[in-house]
Structure 1
Amino acid sequence: MMADTRDKSRIRALHVGPGWGQRGGIASVLEELKGLSDTFDDRGVSLQFAETHDFGSITGAFRFFVFDVPGFVRKLCSGAEIVHLHVSIKSSFYRKFLLFLFARLFRARVVLQVHSGNFDGFVRSSTRLASVATRAFLRRSNALVAVSNSIANALIELGAERSRVHVIANTASAAQRACATVGRNDRAKSTNGPGIIFTGRLVETKGVGDLLEAAALLKAQGLNFHLTVAGSGDLERWSREVERLNICDRVSFPGWIAGEQKLEHYQSADIFCMPSHFEAFGIATLEAMFGGLPIVGTAVGGFFDLVDQGNSGLLVEPSNPIQLADALGTLLADPTLCDQMGRNSRERAYRSFTCIVVVDGYVDMYEQMVKETR
């Protein structure tokens, strides 16, 4: 029988979340972690990844049970001692709960990381089954990760033990690297007036409708600006809304942008706006901060961690186009204030949200978990 030559001092963590070409916040987090694998390795942590299909179709559900579950079990059997489940709401929650049961069956340590800004609302409005599953998740997981203090507080209110809840932010490594040598004075200037940019899913809960209404108010006030609404979603619906509001000359929809193209859009913009109704953290917001943009967001979730109100950006009530227009108008009317907030935003990102800060948070948590149970 061959001897086990694995380094017993290394921590082996299996991260589980959406893959197979899916887009969205959790998929972006997993891509970030994959890119940081060498940094984790240098700290004595080996990362593995298990991707899951969405339940959005019969084909997706079939592939989850036929391919994803057996693949997850194989990786469990290969020596993963920590299973790190990245969880949102609805089908994401139920998929990860099933894998959580397998992980407990194999006596693996479990980390539950919550990425939804409306997780508590989902739990409270769901069936009794979801309520029972949530309690099991919270009580039987060895550690819980909240991507913001707001999420941490929600988990504790749902019954999580405070000492097991860790606040670890998300990262934006590509933006951090690309913007490290670019100052706000190096920005490309738009020929269409001051630029406002939104990047994300084009859905109501991201505040797209609120942003378009705010743009109509700004136009009525005679302010010069151009709004870029970048992302995937029901473009036909939002294009009709732009026509209804008579702001076709002020709004463009470039579609989904990523990588260098996204950073180029940030460099040609003056203000980043994300008027979400719920926001667990805000990776796109952090990217914009690294790019030196002042943030106009909503007073919910992760924005409280990301934005220093009145110093690096402005937060308004969600679902309030009038307040949103006032905040955007304040920055459009005062380029000096806009520039200063942009510099403060960039400094805040490089001070508190760099990759090394996030890696340290994960490694410290893993080491604590292993020390308690080895």
Structure 2
Amino acid sequence: MRAVTAEARPGAPGSRVVRVRHYVAGGCENGGGIGRLVGYIVATADESRVAHRVTDTRGPRWFAPISLVRLAWAILSMALDRLFVPGRIHHIHVAGRGSTARKLVLAGAARTLGCVHVLHLHDYAYADDFAARSPRQRRLVRAMFRGADRVIVLGNGDRMMLETLLGVDGRRIEIFHNCVPDPGPRTLRIAPAPLILFLGRLSERKGVPELLSALASPAMAGLRWRGVIAGDGPVAAYREQAAALGLSGRVEMPGWLDSGQTRTLCQNADILVLPSHAEGMAMAVIEGLAHGLSVVTTRVGAHEEAVIDGENGLFVPVGDEAALAGTLARLVSDPDLRNGLSARAREAYLSRFSMAAYQLRLEAFYEAILSQDQARVHAR
């Protein structure tokens, strides 16, 4: 039987502070979009209400000797919490592939130890990942999600997938759209050479090859614009591809940026482009809305829950280089269109994707989990 306790909240006699440990491959610095989201949560949290800790379950990248030690340390941390901080909620962030393998171990440890734990699914095609697994692995994955106290997903599509494919009770699933801290209002402007910005891992899945082709197209050739394609991945190879297309003087590829560098770049950009083939809910899209950029992306994952075509952003078909080139050329040529999308992007962010609202929901979510667990313990 697990007994859940809560610690006194500083400055509020009789109330409690919720303790949470996040498990993220790569931590906040090397965890990609997941790490960036968790970093934002930790940086903006009110520690008098929710105290967050982050445990890296892998290291900067998968390297067996280091990664296995990281995973073992994560399990030990969970066990020590069970002894000394039994009320801590264990918030386990999971994606497909190797992430699921690690989280099967962590979630199994949480169930064995009797820890309150949440699974937070971040993936661009988890149904496909699940289908590619062996029957035994599928049983384990189903048990992992069904055994969690709660499951968080990024959008309605993942919610339906968990209910229909994995058999998770819909009452235990919560949708939390990704969010970012408020960078402040944007001043509407007419840039003589608009800056087109891409944020994300440089890869085919993110649509980088067709983005480069679109930027090198005749539709863009005679227009004034600048481009930055920022992110990790095979940067050198994509620089070579850009050079071969004649883009070296117009497009920069600085590699991966931290949150401060990303914010500075967004403040100077005009258009955010992410022509992905698959996503959950891309952090880059939310960054674009928050900074009041003209967002160009694809109808994948939960993007249609954030972007309304022609209202606060523009959609292009997946893999359609001509449509992407035409849309970017239209935005570069039309400052009034950019400014209109910019204003409505900020409105969408403030009404639905602000960090302040996210934190309040997350606090209530954690409190509800603890309250329900305490009720179950007292009922036994």
TM-score by length of 1: 0.88
Aligned to 1:47: 52
Q: Counterparts of 1:261-340 in structure 2 under 5 Å?
A: 261-340=261-340
Aligned to 1:104: 111
CA contact (8 A) 1:218 1:329 kept: no
CA contact (8 A) 2:153 2:159 kept: yes
Instruction: Select 2:21's aligned residue among 11, 14, 20.
Output: 14
Deviations 1:192-215 (A, max 9, x none): x22211011112211111211111
Q: Counterparts of 1:240-251 in structure 2 under 5 Å?
A: 240-251=240-251
Once the two structures are TM-superposed, the CA of residue 242 in structure 1 deviates from its matched residue by 1.3
Q: Counterparts of 1:174-213 in structure 2 under 5 Å?
A: 176=182, 179-185=183-189, 189=191, 193-213=193-213
Aligned to 2:170: 162
Once the two structures are TM-superposed, the CA of residue 370 in structure 1 deviates from its matched residue by 2.6
CA contact (8 A) 1:15 1:50 kept: yes
- With over 3 angstroms needed to count, the CA separation of the structure-2 counterparts of 1:321 and 1:78, relative to structure 1, is farther
Deviations 1:308-331 (A, max 9, x none): 211111112222222212221221
Counterpart check, 1:132 vs 2:139: yes
Q: Which runs of no fewer than 5 residues in structure 1 stay unpaired? A: none
User: How many Å separate the matches in 2 of 1:222 and 1:204?
Assistant: 27
Instruction: Select 1:147's aligned residue among 140, 145, 154.
Output: 154
- With over 3 angstroms needed to count, the CA separation of the structure-2 counterparts of 1:80 and 1:310, relative to structure 1, is farther
CA contact (8 A) 2:180 2:287 kept: yes
Once the two structures are TM-superposed, the CA of residue 337 in structure 1 deviates from its matched residue by 0.8
User: How many Å separate the matches in 2 of 1:219 and 1:234?
Assistant: 27
- With over 3 angstroms needed to count, the CA separation of the structure-2 counterparts of 1:307 and 1:137, relative to structure 1, is same
- With over 3 angstroms needed to count, the CA separation of the structure-2 counterparts of 1:114 and 1:268, relative to structure 1, is same
User: How many Å separate the matches in 2 of 1:22 and 1:263?
Assistant: 17
SS of the aligned residue for 2:119 comes to strand
User: How many Å separate the matches in 2 of 1:166 and 1:353?
Assistant: 15
TM-score by length of 2: 0.87
Instruction: Select 1:78's aligned residue among 80, 84, 88.
Output: 84
Aligned to 1:57: 63
Deviations 1:253-299 (A, max 9, x none): 12222344322322222210011112211222212222110100010
User: How many Å separate the matches in 1 of 2:106 and 2:206?
Assistant: 29
SS of the aligned residue for 2:202 comes to coil
SS of the aligned residue for 1:184 comes to coil
User: How many Å separate the matches in 2 of 1:358 and 1:180?
Assistant: 17
Instruction: Select 2:36's aligned residue among 19, 24, 28.
Output: 28
User: How many Å separate the matches in 1 of 2:38 and 2:62?
Assistant: 20
SS of the aligned residue for 2:55 comes to strand
Counterpart check, 1:123 vs 2:127: no
User: How many Å separate the matches in 1 of 2:147 and 2:278?
Assistant: 27
User: How many Å separate the matches in 1 of 2:259 and 2:213?
Assistant: 29
Q: Give the alignment's Cα RMSD to 1 decimal.
A: 2.3
SS of the aligned residue for 2:107 comes to helix
- With over 3 angstroms needed to count, the CA separation of the structure-2 counterparts of 1:143 and 1:253, relative to structure 1, is same
- Which amino acid letter does the alignment assign opposite residue 187 of structure 2? G
- After superposing the two structures, state which structure 1 stretch, 231-240 or 52-61, moved more: 52-61
Instruction: Select 1:87's aligned residue among 89, 94, 112.
Output: 94
CA contact (8 A) 1:143 1:164 kept: yes
Aligned to 1:347: 347
Aligned to 2:377: none
Once the two structures are TM-superposed, the CA of residue 229 in structure 1 deviates from its matched residue by 0.7
CA contact (8 A) 1:172 1:355 kept: yes
Once the two structures are TM-superposed, the CA of residue 89 in structure 1 deviates from its matched residue by 1.2
Aligned to 1:356: 356
Once the two structures are TM-superposed, the CA of residue 339 in structure 1 deviates from its matched residue by 0.9
CA contact (8 A) 2:271 2:293 kept: yes
SS of the aligned residue for 1:74 comes to helix
User: How many Å separate the matches in 2 of 1:323 and 1:155?
Assistant: 33
- Which amino acid letter does the alignment assign opposite residue 47 of structure 1? H
Aligned to 1:113: 120
Once the two structures are TM-superposed, the CA of residue 31 in structure 1 deviates from its matched residue by 1.0
CA contact (8 A) 1:198 1:274 kept: yes
User: How many Å separate the matches in 1 of 2:42 and 2:220?
Assistant: 46
Aligned to 2:232: 232
CA contact (8 A) 1:12 1:80 kept: no
The aligned length equals 360
Once the two structures are TM-superposed, the CA of residue 371 in structure 1 deviates from its matched residue by 2.8
Q: Which runs of no fewer than 5 residues in structure 2 stay unpaired? A: 9-14, 375-380
- With over 3 angstroms needed to count, the CA separation of the structure-2 counterparts of 1:226 and 1:181, relative to structure 1, is closer
Once the two structures are TM-superposed, the CA of residue 80 in structure 1 deviates from its matched residue by 4.2
Instruction: Select 1:171's aligned residue among 179, 183, 191.
Output: 179
